[in-house]
Chain A
């Protein structure tokens, strides 16, 4: 068009700006409902945080020990002395063990179900894995205490003998395997289904054309997975792991049943003893007085913050390579 057309004016119909409601009843109701749900969620979160903070402040103001470094939990003593060092250590260590065991296995199972297993086997297998999630955590706890603990004695001895030089796997205390290591294994089994099923869903969503691109270049099945499936599923696997980690950090009954608690920090993860936030709360809440409960709530607040921190870190990892995520393909 050489000669521009000056008569060209804005003839666009007066569409509602920025996609807002057109004023029909259905639109209004739906917009209100979804907005309400969003606000409700924020209100619930804020009120939990406010409650924890308020009760925690009461306890912390009277604590004679250092809340972060004291290796003791004696909230009902006069003056009260309690600290979260042992709990923080136990929670983090048992969760790291759980993640280290569960995530590789879960990714393997998810890949098997999504890309290797024949269709007839994939569906039942996926169902069985999901079924693991339906087992109540107290059952895991009982199974862990009565079956897993005695079974692990042999493994513990083996680890001690051959990997004892690493310090971490050195077992300096005799006694059954009611250790952070056992708790980690149990947690790994418990978070396996959630990590597996979310990873599986992500792997199944890899666009067919991405996989065909790799195939057409002469990639073997494993190379297809490495070139297109895993990179595409990366952020999904991270999210899945975070969901699993959330459960591992907060798991209560199973840990409380298996662990023989003690207020010691030991790098020897095979030794019995240690504690986690949730386990400590469950063990002490019933017999604690009003102030003791406030102290436990203070430890709960730390768990709350820890979970927030972990989730934030995961989001950062995902966002850092956003351009390459495949979401803009």
Chain B
């Protein structure tokens, strides 16, 4: 199920602009790794290189290696579409397919992957919605549009959609930034449960959130506006928040800048 991510010497570009520079890190399976750092430091860009979504942006380009266990995602002949089926993603704003019902939203990824019997589909949809702690709230209205749910419910629907295809890795790009505190709490609890099964990487602007949900924390920074973002340090979350080894990290988490 869950796989280890091993990044080495990774840089990403938008056209000629280098957005992140020479990042190397390892993410252990069945753990939660949080990316923190000021706006524009490239943490979302880096996250999007992990499932080859970065190159979807016009001019987006990547150098370096990302190993998923032993397979290089950027190897010759690797189909980005296949990569994205293994590495799931949850976005900043909940984005259920507005024209699909709740059921169809969760089943969307499965239908891409092949043909399922109706009963199989029903089972997986139920399991995924339960996995996303949403089943009890929507089980009576699976045929209603997904866009009719509240923001927090929509985000959990998107998580259910992402986990329905049983990915190896789950990437979350500020999944709670558009949600209220109660919905945020629901998602954070869910992340704690999901890490039993998936390797999770989460970008967050909320340092308390990083401290609450993650095992490891990576701090990104950039030396000046227009300069590429860099990985400053990656360590156990406890250490990052109590005794970081780099001064810039301490300055950032104690609110002296950023």
User: Which chain B positions have C-beta within 8 A of A287?
Assistant: none
User: Which chain B positions have C-beta within 8 A of A214?
Assistant: 97, 108
Is B161's CB under 8 angstroms from A217's CB? yes
With A231-B100, A328-B147, A329-B147 as given contacts, are A217 and B165 in contact (CB-CB < 8 Å)?
Answer: yes
Residues of A302-329 contacting chain B, CB below 8 A? 323-329
Residue in B51, B99, B113, B162 with the greatest tally of chain A CB atoms within 10 Å: B99
With A323-B148, A326-B147, A328-B148 as given contacts, are A216 and B99 in contact (CB-CB < 8 Å)?
Answer: no
With A215-B56, A216-B53, A217-B109 as given contacts, are A209 and B91 in contact (CB-CB < 8 Å)?
Answer: yes
Determine whether A223 belongs to the interface, using a CB cutoff of 8 Å to chain B: yes
Is B81's CB under 8 angstroms from A218's CB? yes
Contact indicator per residue, chain B 66-98, by CB within 8 Å of chain A (1) or not (0): 000000000000000111111011010101111
Closest residue of chain B to A231 (Cβ to Cβ) is: B99
User: Which chain A positions have C-beta within 8 A of B81?
Assistant: 218-220
User: Which chain B positions have C-beta within 8 A of A216?
Assistant: 51, 53, 84, 88-89, 91, 162
Taking the closest CB of chain B, its distance from the CB of A220, in whole angstroms, is: 5
Contact of A209 among B56, B95, B108, B113 (CB under 8 A): B95
Determine whether B224 belongs to the interface, using a CB cutoff of 8 Å to chain A: no
With A217-B165, A227-B108, A323-B148 as given contacts, are A210 and B93 in contact (CB-CB < 8 Å)?
Answer: no
Contact of A212 among B91, B96, B100 (CB under 8 A): B91
Determine whether B158 belongs to the interface, using a CB cutoff of 8 Å to chain A: yes
Determine whether A213 belongs to the interface, using a CB cutoff of 8 Å to chain B: yes
Contact of B158 among A213, A326, A327 (CB under 8 A): A213
Taking the closest CB of chain A, its distance from the CB of B194, in whole angstroms, is: 16
Taking the closest CB of chain A, its distance from the CB of B130, in whole angstroms, is: 20
Is B165's CB under 8 angstroms from A218's CB? yes
Determine whether A234 belongs to the interface, using a CB cutoff of 8 Å to chain B: yes
Determine whether A280 belongs to the interface, using a CB cutoff of 8 Å to chain B: no
Is B84's CB under 8 angstroms from A218's CB? yes
Closest residue of chain B to A218 (Cβ to Cβ) is: B85
Is A218's CB under 8 angstroms from B98's CB? no
What are 8 inter-chain pairs, A to B, with CB distance below 8 A?
A: A119-B58, A209-B91, A209-B95, A213-B158, A214-B97, A215-B53, A232-B98, A329-B96
